[in-house]
Amino acid sequence: MNVRSASRGFPLVAALPLVAVLMLAPGTADAQVRVLTLDQAVSTALVSNPSITASKESGLAARHKEEGSWTGYLPQVVANMSYKRATANSALSPWIKLPATMSSFGTLLSRETSDSYNNLSASLGINQTIWDFGRTMGANQAAKAQVVASAADVSTTTEAVSLQVIQAYYAVLATREAVLTAEETLGQMQKHVQQAKIQADAGTRQRIDVARAQSDLATAEMALIRMRNGHLLAKVALDAAMGGDGDAEFEVVDPPEPAVLELDVEEATRRAVANRPEFRSLAAKVSAARAGVMAARSAWFPALQATGGVAWQGYKFTDLPYNWYAGASLTWNALSGVPAHAATQEAQANVRSLEALLKSLQVNIRSEAHAAVLAYREAQQRMQPAAALVESARQTLALAEGRYAAGSGSIMEVTDAQAIKVQASSSLIGARYELQTARARLLKAIGPATSAEVRN
């Protein structure tokens, strides 16, 4: 942020000295400095950030599960073919009483031999569930609701990552301005040292002024080192938010000045509850839990199925007589009452828990939107006094330096005025950074704050 311009946020002119130094530095004359815009940063994050990728894959899994839940409505067709070689030995049934004269016939009925025969069979059967009292319907409705919830979760993750990138981007801009301010302060301290030495050599000032000016110069050098390191750390954080691979060798540019948001608390809270993807996700999960109650309760009741099929079976491939069948079955587990009751109670408890969480989320969303409106208003109101403070500090420093040069002021006045100016400049930088991030947080709080809306 350029502390010398109170009416604009993060002007591109402020970056020109730094870019020029990088381009003219030894060994970099032919190097291309990668320039990163806010649009590019957000777009890169939407593609590369692993959190968004994981959320999208979870949504894809939910859609596949919903596709599978439709199979309960489809018939089950089972085809079977088998072949085996087996003996056909059998024992005489105990209820068959043969007279002694027919003992040889009994031997034929009950014999044991190692002779084996082919056994061939083929069948095709179909089962169709006609009605299962909500078991299949409940599972399907729950899966469909989970798809809605997963889609909303993707939006939630996307908005969170976009806000993270925007905040990190403006942090890079803020630290860049802090570096420029520290460099300006260092230059002034160097002039103070030179001026103090000249006056001390002329006998108009004491040597203690030189020592004090040198101390201020060392303090400014340490501050510049700290600011430069903070700027590098901010770029590393931005690269991480984009899902990068650690390449922080880029320079950011100032986005266009965003429009001022005109929102009252009532409108902000209304939009937040209506549009927040977190609310849609949890509401869909409540619907899924209610469908789960239907599926659990259905275990109390029987399942009605229609069945049919045809089968071929015999000892020779050329002689396989067929049989067909058709019918219906009603299946009911008479002892399913206890587990069905427990499962139903569990599902109903899950519904009540999610409904309570939904109400709590609604309260939190309203509170967050309200706080975001107030924070944005505060950030707007801080801009004018912060800019006025910088101008006042600049004039004070100019007067102090003029008095010192004329011999009527002390080095302490110059040092104090310089400290006030640095503090005022830092306050203005912070105010501009807070204004832009407060705007982004407000847009996220009131609904699906698209990146385009945040930047326009």
CATH number at residue 27: 1.20.1600.10
pLDDT in tens, 367-407: 999 999 999 999 999 999 999 998 998 898 899 888 888 87
Domain annotation covers residue 385: yes
Mean pLDDT of 438-443: 91
Of 198-207, 318-327, 330-339, the range with the lowest mean pLDDT is 330-339
Of 119-128, 141-150, 310-319, 329-338, the range with the lowest mean pLDDT is 329-338
Domain annotation covers residue 102: no
132: left (phi over 0), alpha (psi -120 to 50) or beta: alpha
Domain annotation covers residue 277: yes
* pLDDT tier for residue 450 given thresholds of 50, 70 and 90: very low
Domain annotation covers residue 44: yes
Of 283-287, 330-334, 427-431, the range with the lowest mean pLDDT is 330-334
* pLDDT tier for residue 311 given thresholds of 50, 70 and 90: very high
* Alpha carbon separation from 308 to 82, 132, 326 (Å, rounded): 19, 19, 4
* pLDDT tier for residue 40 given thresholds of 50, 70 and 90: very high
Of 55-59, 156-160, 229-233, 422-426, the range with the lowest mean pLDDT is 422-426
Q: Could you give the angle at which helices 207-241 and 411-445 cross, rounded to 10 degrees?
A: 10
* pLDDT tier for residue 6 given thresholds of 50, 70 and 90: very low
Round the average pLDDT of the chain to a whole number and report it. Answer: 83
Does the pLDDT of residue 242 top 60, yes or no? yes
Domain annotation covers residue 112: no
- % of the chain residues with pLDDT over 90: 43
* pLDDT tier for residue 336 given thresholds of 50, 70 and 90: low
Q: Which residue has the higher pLDDT, 253 or 340?
A: 253
Burial group, residue 94, by CB count within 10 angstroms (0-12, 13-18, 19+): exposed
Of 2-16, 193-207, 223-237, 320-334, the range with the lowest mean pLDDT is 2-16
Does the pLDDT of residue 452 top 50, yes or no? no
* pLDDT tier for residue 248 given thresholds of 50, 70 and 90: confident
Enumerate long-range contacts of 5-12, CB under 8 Å, 24 or more apart. 6/383, 6/384, 6/386, 6/387, 6/390, 6/391, 6/428, 7/387, 8/257, 9/254, 9/257, 9/432, 9/435, 9/436, 10/170, 10/173, 10/177, 10/254, 10/255, 10/432, 10/436, 11/254, 12/253, 12/254
Count of domains observed in the chain = 1
Q: Which residue has the higher pLDDT, 88 or 328?
A: 328
Report the pLDDT value the prediction gives residue 116, as an integer from 0 to 100.
86
* pLDDT tier for residue 43 given thresholds of 50, 70 and 90: very high
Report the pLDDT value the prediction gives residue 14, as an integer from 0 to 100.
39
Does the pLDDT of residue 12 top 60, yes or no? no
Does the pLDDT of residue 168 top 80, yes or no? yes
pLDDT in tens, 125-161: 999 888 888 888 888 999 999 999 999 999 999 999 9
In sequence order, what are the residues at sequence separation of 6 or more whose Cβ sits closer than 8 angstroms to the Cβ of residue 237?
168, 171
pLDDT in tens, 404-416: 888 777 888 888 8
Report the pLDDT value the prediction gives residue 93, as an integer from 0 to 100.
63
Domain annotation covers residue 360: yes
Report the pLDDT value the prediction gives residue 89, as an integer from 0 to 100.
79
pLDDT in tens, 75-130: 889 999 999 989 877 766 666 665 666 555 555 556 677 888 889 999 999 998 88
Report the pLDDT value the prediction gives residue 111, as an integer from 0 to 100.
63
Does the pLDDT of residue 4 top 90, yes or no? no
Q: What are phi and psi of 274, to 5 degrees?
A: -75, -30
DSSP string over 12-28:
GGGGHHHHHHHHHSTT-
Report the pLDDT value the prediction gives residue 342, as an integer from 0 to 100.
87
Range of the domain at 207: 12-74+137-301+338-455
Mean pLDDT of 12-39: 54
Q: Is residue 191 within 8 Å of residue 442, measured between CB atoms?
A: no
* pLDDT tier for residue 353 given thresholds of 50, 70 and 90: very high
Q: Which residues pair with 324 in a beta bridge?
A: 310
